[in-house]
């Protein structure tokens, strides 16, 4: 795949375009969220419409799970949503923490931040904030959050170890995260791993599930568990844009799988300053 900075530029470009489209457009266009490509981003999405705090204008149909379901948020908590987009999970989180809590959305795409702020201006939540920033270097002080959530975003981050170290840093001792993301079983064909559109569509950026969970544990988190998992089936008509029929058959025979998972983990309550790793504090 391309160097990290090229990947970030690609993601910004694609998700800036998405920010100006509706959920209906994302789901009904020939290519999902970015017209002109062939990746159907809505393949991964979940239905939020029955959740308390749901804001239709903030739902662009981009998630691959419902991390708020397992986030254990309480009245008065401070919650950070990584890759907050138009604010979908932020507004749901706000319904849990109430007026005495705080919810901070972080996104690296200016167009998404603008859209999220516009959505918040309509509902008038004084304790909701959207910050422009990079997940690998969060614009948040250490030990800030009770809970961190994220929905189908960390697969887009080139350095996942750095991202989880940042999550550890911003969580309070005893805090926890609930993250929905895309992981792999088996090796994707090179044509998919290299393709820019498949990266922006959360596929080429995904890593093996065991490697993903190992990174989390290596970052210092405990009580790590997978709360939900769902097989993601990409249609043949999409995959044949990237693979020959022979390559597609080989991929199926190898039982290569793409899954969305929601994973939970805790920052130990008795660990001072990032587990003694001074560089992350």
CATH number at residue 159: 3.40.50.150
Q: Give pLDDT, residue 28.
A: 42
- Whether residue 277 is contained in a domain is answered as no
Q: Give pLDDT, residue 201.
A: 55
Q: Collect the ranges in the chain with pLDDT lower than 70.
A: 1-4, 7, 22-45, 193-204, 271-281
- Whether residue 28 is contained in a domain is answered as yes
- Whether residue 278 is contained in a domain is answered as no
- Whether residue 281 is contained in a domain is answered as no
Among residues 164, 179, 149, which one has the least CA distance to residue 73?
149
CB 222 within 8 Å of CB 258: no
Output phi, psi for 178, to 5 deg: -135, 115
Q: Give pLDDT, residue 237.
A: 82
**pLDDT per residue over 189-213, tens digit each?**
777 766 655 545 556 678 899 999 9
Question: What's the number of domains the chain is made of?
Answer: 1
Structure tokens at 238: 């999409």
Q: Give pLDDT, residue 13.
A: 77
- Whether residue 271 is contained in a domain is answered as no
Q: Give pLDDT, residue 188.
A: 76
- Whether residue 272 is contained in a domain is answered as no
Percent of the chain clearing pLDDT 90 (strictly above): 53
Mention every residue, 6+ apart, whose C-beta is less than 8 A from residue 261.
Answer: 65, 180, 181, 182, 183, 209, 226, 227, 228, 229, 230
The whole domain housing 234 covers: 4-266
- Whether residue 273 is contained in a domain is answered as no
- Whether residue 279 is contained in a domain is answered as no
């Amino acid at each position: 795949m391309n160097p990290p900075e090229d990947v970030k530029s690609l993601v910004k470009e694609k998700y800036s375009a998405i920010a100006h489209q509706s959920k209906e457009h994302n789901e009904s266009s020939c290519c999902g969220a970015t017209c002109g490509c062939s990746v159907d981003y809505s393949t991964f999405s979940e239905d939020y419409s029955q959740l308390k705090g749901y804001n239709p204008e903030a739902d662009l149909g981009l998630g691959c799970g419902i991390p708020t379901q397992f986030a254990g948020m309480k009245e008065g908590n401070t919650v950070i949503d990584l890759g907050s987009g138009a604010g979908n999970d932020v507004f749901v989180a706000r319904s849990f923490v109430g007026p005495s809590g705080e919810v901070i959305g972080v996104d690296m795409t200016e167009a998404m931040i603008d859209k999220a702020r516009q959505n918040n201006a309509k509902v008038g939540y004084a304790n909701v904030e959207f910050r422009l920033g990079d997940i690998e270097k969060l614009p948040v002080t250490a030990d800030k959050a009770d809970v961190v959530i994220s929905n189908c975003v960390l697969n887009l981050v080139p350095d996942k170890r750095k991202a989880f170290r940042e999550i550890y840093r911003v969580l309070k001792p005893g805090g926890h995260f609930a993250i929905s993301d895309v992981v792999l079983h088996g090796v994707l064909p090179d044509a998919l791993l290299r393709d820019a559109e498949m990266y922006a569509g959360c596929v080429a950026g995904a890593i093996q599930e065991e490697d993903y969970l190992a990174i989390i544990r290596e970052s210092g988190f405990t009580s790590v568990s997978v709360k939900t998992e769902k097989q993601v089936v990409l249609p043949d008509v999409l995959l044949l844009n990237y693979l020959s029929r022979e390559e597609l058959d080989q991929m199926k025979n190898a039982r290569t799988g793409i899954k969305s998972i929601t994973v939970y983990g805790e920052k130990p309550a008795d660990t001072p300053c990032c587990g003694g790793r001074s560089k992350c504090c």
